[in-house]
Structure 1
Amino acid sequence: MNNLHLYNTMTAQKQPFMPIEQGKVGMYVCGMTVYDYCHIGHARVMVSFDVIFRWLKQLGFDVNYVRNITDIDDKIINRANENGESIFDLTARFIKAMHEDADNLGCLRPTAEPKATDYINQMQNLITTLEQKNLAYKGQTGDVYYAVDNFAGYGKLSKRKLDEMQAGASERTNVETDKKNPFDFVLWKSAKEHEPSETKWQSPWGVGRPGWHIECSAMSTCCLGETFDIHGGGHDLQFPHHENEIAQSEGATGKTYANNWLHVGFVNVDGEKMSKSLNNFFTIRDVLKDFHAETIRFFILSSHYRSPINFSDTALKEAHTALSRLYHALKPFDFNEIDIDKNLWQSDFGQEFMLAMNDDFNTAKATSVLFSVASEINKALKNGDDEQAKHFAKLLKTLAEPLNIAQSSPTEFLQAVIGDDNGLSEDEILAKIDERKQAKTNKDFAKADQIREELKAKGVELEDTRAGTTWRRV
């Protein structure tokens, strides 16, 4: 059933995937801090793990996919204060927005989406355990910290040595004085006067709220057990967040926290790291104003999930052109008659696709197989072999299903109006096509060519086929 190999960040190598329980997978992915709209970096994590989720299910696994929601955090408190609203009103609004963005990108909902504020008791129990094991202490300010010096494996995920980090840290200024080590991190934050009452919980260490890192340790182990199969997130979370999760979880249980660590690569914008300070920060909603949601999804899947990708208008336009080729290959058929056929996975192309996906979810190689199949469709149509063409069309749709691309009507995709597009309406385009048809009937080919060029200048491309003239937006 399973020849899947994963690149495990912990071991820094690919290895066969061996689930803890045969036929089942427990997967935890660090989710969003819900104080603002999701950005294109979030989109990459969403889509990458959505495909991993889908492929594991394709292989026959029963997958428990848990992605948390951080709904208590400094940024959330600050934003709610700025807006003069409850943190729960703020987070509810952005959870809804997050779901809308993920739905637009064609992502399945995770099996569970635990919210941090629902797990305060479990976090306090975990901190108490760490305190009992001499891995946590209360500082002078009332904050409770994790004592990294007392956890022998600290740094093993990110391949950092604590003594070397400490040497570098000793040169820094403004180190918080109530920490025993500058790399000790907060488990429980004491309440501040200016913070609203809804952000304060009673605890053995006084009124306060949890630190960020403890949230994921509590939610993941409560939902999936003390050891689970896959832990994922963005590459930027590797240190310190995931490192701190390991220290907390393994410090408390003495057991391996996660057997496999998967990290999604960075998104750069025009060659630079995305950041608000560089004014190159794009929300998913920003991008959806100019590009089809499936184009964004295809752009993300065109690169291996671990590699960095460069986000730009040019790259998205290229992705749209490439995805349009797949839809164009499917266009000659009645799409409702192009059924998913699981038997086609046994074909040579099916096996090639499966080999790519089982090699650490290599969607870049997998999508290249789809273009090979599209070429076979076009070749068969050119040779007049409609049955063979239809066979390959079914194969294309079947193989593309786990990626959740090329599953819509080709006409709907190719003619879709994007965002607040002020281009020509469908009626205007059809009127121009009729005008061109009349010009050709009158043998006024110069006018026919002029109309074609006018439409092209307005983002509409015509194609003359035996069945008549069709069009698509470009």
Structure 2
Amino acid sequence: MTFRLYDTATRDVRDFVPLHAGRASVYVCGLTVQSEPHVGHVRSAVNFDVLRRWLGHQGLEVTFIRNVTDIDDKILTKAAEQGRPWWNLAYDMKRELDRAYAALNVLPPSYEPAATGHVPEMIELIATLVERGHAYAAEDGSGDVYFDVRSWPSYGELTRQGLDDMEAAEDADPRGKRDPRDFALWKGWKKDSEPETAAWPSPWGPGRPGWHIECSAMAGKYLGAAFDIHGGGVDLRFPHHENEQAQSRAAGQQFASYWMHNAWITTAGEKMSKSLGNSLVIPAVLERFRGIELRYYMVAAHYRSHVEFSFEALEEAAVGFRRVEAFLERARAVVGDIPAGGMHCADFVAAMDDDLGTPAAVAAIFDVVREGNKLLADTTVDTAALRGNAASVRAMLDVLGLDPADPTWGGASSTDDQLTHAVDVLVAGLLDQRAAARAAKDFTSADAIRDRIKDAGIEVEDTPDGPKWSLINGR
């Protein structure tokens, strides 16, 4: 196995060596289900879904855990604003999240634990930290329990920060803390402002877990004291993942061997988030583009690269992907059903083994598609070669979760959508044939193809960015 990944902890590309031969264990921080998921949220799920698929294609048995935070300050606040129970809001938003994942062909995790279902494990972990001298109950009677950052000399090692260089969060509650940078493991119930349903019994009084302890407890329960990869968005590195690692290791666990973080999707240079008011919820985007096209847009960028979102860029990506679909449709018309499980080309494998280099992997797919188009352009098509070529394209797309033949993608949402997509695919295929004929200097065939397209009521314009088509007189 030659897979290499960028480990955020060491800031270096490292060979991936799983703790157990033939198996890989992955924990990814899921979402806080406070509101509808937007494009930025789902990017993380798509990126780590590609990781999971690649590990599986390399023959590893993957245990993939992705949690859900369903109790949180923001959930309580939003539910109160909407005049509904917090658990009702969390449940509804979890269903929206499930629909978004399904629309983008994100595989279900091996298990998806919810924070509210693991409070006993969190209490047990907090008690261990108290017993070891790394946590303390506040003396102000609040019922809060804090992690003592000064008790753990390695605090800050994940993000390479010194404790004295850190500042307390602006919204941090300083009550009962020994150090303003100590973070909450348990939050005492505020009976004047919080519903009774948002509190669980504990040795320190009724309350609820802090955010950071949730992931440590759930990762430990399902993956054990040591596991391979911990992932999440780059914005989680500090304080969330720093705190996770500190409390888990202070409790005697090895925790994660590798850390992976995906970058943001930005709008106007800022992280896409609901607090900035620039988010794009998934259902709204899917009214304009298919799920497979949105996924391709995300996958085509490297997971560690920030992506500036625009509908223009998404349209450009969708047009490119439709050319791949058009090739597969034309190949199927010649050779019949295209088998799954074809060979991955060497360039694709090299790209994926190099820290999930999806931009180079996508380029490798297009190289194979171009070879396939040349086969289709021959007067006597080598059907065996074409079948193998198309099967290779399908196999590589499958690794990226983009195989159009995957039943998960289903069909378009309406008859009009299906017709629009069918025309798009067919025209793209004809344009590829025309390009191949022109490259071979067979201008007679190229002009004949253009005439066929025009006879169908479609005008082709050659531009510096490639041929563009439109309906003649709006037909």
TM-score per shorter chain, which class? 0.7 to 0.9
In 2, the alpha carbon distance for the partners of 1:90 and 1:419 equals: 34
Measure how far apart 1:154 and its partner are: 0.7
Q: 1:26 to 1:448 in 2, by over 3 A?
A: closer
Q: 1:72 to 1:369 in 2, by over 3 A?
A: same
In 1, the alpha carbon distance for the partners of 2:54 and 2:245 equals: 26
Name the count of aligned residue pairs: 430
Which residue pairs with 1:467 in the alignment? none
Paired residues of 1:30 and 1:68 also in contact (CA < 8 A): yes
Q: What TM-score do you get using the length of structure 2 for normalisation?
A: 0.84
Paired residues of 1:34 and 1:71 also in contact (CA < 8 A): yes
Paired residues of 2:229 and 2:259 also in contact (CA < 8 A): yes
- AA aligned to 1:100 is R
Q: 1:334 aligns with which of 332, 335, 342?
A: 332
Q: Deviations over 1:1-46 (max 9, x none)?
A: x111111111110111111110011110000111211111111101
SS at 1:334's partner residue? helix
Paired residues of 1:289 and 1:420 also in contact (CA < 8 A): no
In 2, the alpha carbon distance for the partners of 1:272 and 1:119 equals: 34
In 2, the alpha carbon distance for the partners of 1:310 and 1:182 equals: 36
- Identity among equivalent pairs (%): 39
Paired residues of 2:412 and 2:418 also in contact (CA < 8 A): no
In 1, the alpha carbon distance for the partners of 2:422 and 2:172 equals: 63
Which residue pairs with 1:442 in the alignment? none
Q: 1:184 aligns with which of 173, 176, 182?
A: 182
Q: 1:147 to 1:174 in 2, by over 3 A?
A: closer
Give runs of aligned pairs for residues 196-211 of structure 1, distance below 5 A: 196-211=195-210
Measure how far apart 1:56 and its partner are: 0.6
Measure how far apart 1:276 and its partner are: 3.7
Q: 2:281 aligns with which of 280, 283, 297?
A: 283
Paired residues of 2:187 and 2:208 also in contact (CA < 8 A): yes
In 2, the alpha carbon distance for the partners of 1:108 and 1:190 equals: 37
Q: 1:245 to 1:209 in 2, by over 3 A?
A: same
1:372 aligns with 2:370: no
SS at 1:337's partner residue? coil
Paired residues of 1:270 and 1:312 also in contact (CA < 8 A): no
In 2, the alpha carbon distance for the partners of 1:208 and 1:177 equals: 16
Give runs of aligned pairs for residues 250-265 of structure 1, distance below 5 A: 250-253=249-252, 255-265=253-263
In 1, the alpha carbon distance for the partners of 2:92 and 2:105 equals: 20
Q: Deviations over 1:423-461 (max 9, x none)?
A: 97999xx9xxxxxxxxxxxxxx9x96694259xxxxx95
In 2, the alpha carbon distance for the partners of 1:123 and 1:212 equals: 10
In 2, the alpha carbon distance for the partners of 1:282 and 1:64 equals: 31
Paired residues of 1:326 and 1:406 also in contact (CA < 8 A): no
Q: What TM-score do you get using the length of structure 1 for normalisation?
A: 0.84
Give runs of aligned pairs for residues 103-122 of structure 1, distance below 5 A: 103-122=102-121
Q: 1:359 aligns with which of 334, 354, 358?
A: 354
Q: Deviations over 1:168-208 (max 9, x none)?
A: x59x8997242221111101101012211211111111111
> How large is the Cα RMSD of the aligned pairs?
3.0
In 2, the alpha carbon distance for the partners of 1:40 and 1:245 equals: 26
Q: Which structure 1 residue ranges, 5 or more long, are not aligned?
A: 431-444, 455-459, 464-474
- AA aligned to 1:66 is I
Give runs of aligned pairs for residues 19-418 of structure 1, distance below 5 A: 19-139=18-138, 140=140, 141-165=142-166, 176-193=174-191, 194-253=193-252, 255-276=253-274, 278-334=276-332, 337-342=337-342, 344-345=343-344, 350-384=345-379, 385-387=381-383, 388-408=385-405, 416=412
Which residue pairs with 1:15 in the alignment? 14
In 2, the alpha carbon distance for the partners of 1:290 and 1:134 equals: 55
Measure how far apart 1:422 and its partner are: 12
- AA aligned to 2:386 is A
SS at 1:360's partner residue? coil
SS at 1:65's partner residue? strand
Q: Which moved more, 1:173-182 or 1:53-62?
A: 173-182
Measure how far apart 1:90 and its partner are: 2.0
